[in-house]
Structure 1
Amino acid sequence: ANICANLVLKRIKQATATSLWWFKTYNQALPKKDDLNIVTDWDGNAVAVIKTTQIDLVPFHKVTEVFAQTEGEGDGSLAYWRKVHKAFYTREMKNSSDSFNEEMLIVCERFETLYP
């Protein structure tokens, strides 16, 4: 959480990718354009305000290099993005009857940092 919050503060991280599976499993509404959110560190301290600028539902295997770079984690490559997100989604679904697959939909959310 602290690493991602710091990347948002530096305006390096301007996107996030949550599995559609997570939204459905936890009965959460999908983000919408112009949503405002508070980014917190691990301890729950507010560090930034972000505004959603775009939402796309994309199969995992069709996430682009540009999106991976916009997410801003690791070395910014699509290879890195795929490796860490596949591992994350696999762990996320571990205790369910579902499992990771390359066709699963990812909620690709782009945002801008409004504050600070």
Structure 2
Amino acid sequence: MKLLKIGGKTMTYFSEIVAFGSSESEQTHLAQLVLQGDKIATSSLAELYPLRQLPLSKIGDIWQIQDGQQHVICYVQVTNVLEQPFGKIDSTFAIAEGDGSYANWYQIHETYYTKLLKKHGVTLTNQTPLICTWFTLIPDPSLSL
């Protein structure tokens, strides 16, 4: 647990450092989308949480968003978390992820998730569970951790 100060108010929170994407340029691009308000959600493979011994995020958690240079460029607060099968992702969520369209989201994520799961001997299907997480940008640039 850590302390966060926003506008003179101190709160206790769980913090995670997050860099979206797998390459330096992709991480910087996606971090900029968060700053612009064009990326307000993300998805991840539910199967990888126990393998990586990671806790699921909870509503209220604060994420420190990093760019490709590993600089924290902003903070977001988790507003919703749900498990959704890969085949049930819709265009609203795809756009919230910052991918512009469902077709673009599907092409990017089908390729990425297939590659990740293959390393563990698992095949991506429409029933593969994803953890879908929505977040909101914490607008106060003077916050300190």
Q: With structure 1 as the length reference, what TM-score do the two structures score?
A: 0.93
How large is the Cα RMSD of the aligned pairs? Answer: 1.0
Q: What are the superposed Cα offsets for residues 60-88 of structure 1, whole Å, 9 maximum, x if unpaired?
A: 00011111111112xx2111111110101
Pairing 1:1-40 to 2, within 5 Å after superposition: 1-40=27-66
Q: 1:103 aligns with which of 127, 135, 142?
A: 127
Question: How many residues get paired?
Answer: 114
Secondary structure of the structure 2 residue equivalent to 1:93: helix
Larger RCO (CA within 8 A; separation ≥ 6):
1
- Distance in 2 between the 1:24 and 1:82 partners? 24
Aligned residues: percent identity? 26
Pairing 1:30-109 to 2, within 5 Å after superposition: 30-73=56-99, 76-109=100-133
- Larger Rg over CA atoms: 2
Q: Which residue of 2 aligns with 1:114?
A: 138
Q: With structure 2 as the length reference, what TM-score do the two structures score?
A: 0.75
Unaligned runs of 5+ in 2: 1-26
Question: Which ranges of 4 or more aligned residues in structure 1 deviate by more than 4 Å?
Answer: none
Unaligned runs of 5+ in 1: none
